[in-house]
A and B are shown apart, each in its own frame.
Chain A
Amino acid sequence: MPFRRVKFTFKTEKIQSPVIYELGHKFDVVTNIRRADIDSENGWVILEIEGTVDEIERGLEWVREQGSDVSSLDGDILAG
């Protein structure tokens, strides 16, 4: 099954939202958190998402629409 390793960065107003829980319920994907750092103002989570390519992409787009940043675990590959 395809998987993606991604990093979510949350804005302060989204810290209280159960984004990852909802991602797993709204879409047919399995989330697996590996590392995170969250306090009352900021937060990021590094996780693996497993599912079909389409379902992963739809799910990540939904996370972006919730106002969270979604970036590749590798950071930007396109370099100067």
Chain B
Amino acid sequence: MTNVQSLRCKECGRDYPQEPIYVCDFCFGPLEVNYDYDAIAKNISRESIQDGPLTIWRYDELLPASRDNAVNIGAGMTPLLKADNLGKELGLNNLWIKNDAANPTHSFKDRVVSVAATKAVEFDFDTIACASTGNLAGATAAHGAKAGMNTMVFIPADLERGKILGAAIFGSVVLVNGNYDDVNRLCSELGDDRRWAFVNINMRPYYAEGSKSIGYELAEQLGWHAPKHVVVPVASGSLFTKVYKGLQEFAQLGLIDSADTKMHIAQPFGCSPVAKAFIEGQAYPKPVVPDTIAKSLAIGSPADGMYSVSIANKTGGSGTIVPESEIAECMKLLAETEGIFTETAGGVVISALRRLAREGVIGPDEETVALITGTGLKTLEAIADSVKTVTIDPTVRSFDEVVTGAPVS
């Protein structure tokens, strides 16, 4: 039993039944899950949430599937950590890090795929599929394994070996000879042609809802209120729009007093169509060809870019374009101050945060959350030139000479 009323077109408002569809037949607008909020309001409370499992499924009243049949490997309820050391560096006294690297396959994608896989089982698909260069591959492969489904994970054949193996351990990975455009086109054709649950094609309306759980968790973990600022790495823009939606739903249901959070877009210089549109005052992003070390943000044609720009404007947020040269530096800054090893997207977020603090967009005492979406262990090549080590002989003398610099007696 869920509280879903329909799928609703975000553009023209037409309603559709709950099926594996994702686009409006009339205006080609994206479909989004539409809930019966009156029914939800009768059943949900802070207490009922707190009595739930320590996963995204504690919020199942606000998800399109029930926890009773969830494909669950433990996504969600990741740590929200007070970041006093980093805050001191940046001049921010009320800074928090939401560490989604702590998810089962080490990224926020576990949230969305857990919901997509659950719906795929519900719709009686026997195959779950995705196209990915990293985090989504691992999340889809792992949840497909847990669900006992056939899994098709499409990866460009020239991807780093570690990323391929990280997904292949869970089951089927298909390496595609071709560039990003080739993989996109192939998957689009397969999505039309096969009866598969493609997590970010025909499962997209349900898949995307999983990201709302970050908004819910922020509010709950902060003691049932919304933060003043959230800085989010933006790729397709789906995460950005859904964190916002999660906070708004909690306010609408009276679980928090208000949700006046300012939503900040962070993108790397080599792929910044959404931040650029915001900065230039354009309503929608112009597609770009990505060229960034932040591979998880390399979406040149962002499906939810237009909606992200709108939300950043509506909330008094911002868009920041981060120099590529600062990404690894800021990964290192977060690691050295807070003990968190983020993926490159996190480096983008911390660099954007630093700029927003310097420019006074974020005030020193304003409650701010920086969203870390995945672990740096999958992108070691990004920091290979930034991290220094020392080598010694296995003697105390060598240790003193090289490490402590103490004079040798």
Contact = CB atoms under 8 A, between A and B. Distances in A.
Question: Do these two chains interact?
Answer: yes
B319 interface: no
Question: Which among A9, A34, A72, A79 has the highest number of chain B CB atoms within 10 Å?
Answer: A79
Interface in A48-80: 48, 69, 71-80
Contact of A80 (B26, B156, B300, B345): B345
Contacts of B198: 77
Contacts of B125: none
A79 B26 contact: no
B131 A77 contact: yes
A12 to B, nearest CB: 10
A11 B184 CA distance: 23
Given A5-B28, A71-B287, A77 B296 contact: no
Given A35-B29, A79-B130, A74 B188 contact: yes
Nearest to B290: A76
Contacts of B27: 34-35, 46
A37 B284 contact: yes
Contacts of B23: 5, 73-74
B241 to A, nearest CB: 13
Contacts of B282: 42
A46 B345 CA distance: 30
B11 A79 contact: no
Interface string A24-59: 000000000011010000101010100000000000
Contact of B283 (A35, A37, A71): A37
B132 A79 contact: yes
A76 B28 contact: no
Given A9-B286, A74-B201, A80-B296, 19 more contacts: A9-B287, A37-B283, A42-B284, A73-B28, A74-B188, A75-B302, A75-B305, A76-B236, A76-B303, A77-B183, A77-B184, A78-B180, A79-B131, A79-B132, A79-B136, A79-B296, A80-B135, A80-B136, A80-B295
Interface of A: 5, 7, 9, 34-35, 37, 42, 44, 46, 48, 69, 71-80
Interface of B: 11, 22-23, 26-29, 109, 130-136, 154, 156, 180, 183-185, 187-188, 191, 198, 200-201, 204, 235-236, 282-284, 286-287, 295-305, 345
Query: Ordered nearest first, which 9 A-B pairs have the shortest CB separation?
Result: A80-B296, A75-B303, A71-B301, A78-B131, A34-B28, A69-B287, A79-B136, A76-B299, A77-B187
